[in-house]
Amino acid sequence: MATITRTRLVFISIGLFFLVVVFLSLGFGLFLVSPVDKGGADQVFIVKEGSSLKEVAGDLEKAGLITNKTLFV
């Protein structure tokens, strides 16, 4: 029975860690791009002239079009 060398164990550990990070990143990315209401109808949202990004994000959150204004910004 062959023993796993320390170097090989380090490479395997790094590889597994990398795979976990990749899968978590993909899952988070899918979460960010998924719509709030998958079956919802199209909605019109009018941005007031001169509104800042934070104001628009807050208005979108109040309207239920986004779930988190901080992630939107």
pLDDT of 47:
92
Q: Looking at 1-73, which runs of residues are DSSP E strands?
A: none
- Residue 25 CA to residue 35 CA, distance in Å, equals 18
pLDDT of 2:
62
Q: What is the pTM of this model?
A: 0.54
Confidence of residue 51 (pLDDT cuts 50, 70, 90): very high
Q: Is the pLDDT of residue 4 over 90?
A: no
Question: Would you state the structure tokens that stand for residue 28, as one six-digit string?
Answer: 């988070």
User: What's the average model confidence in pLDDT over 31-37?
Assistant: 78
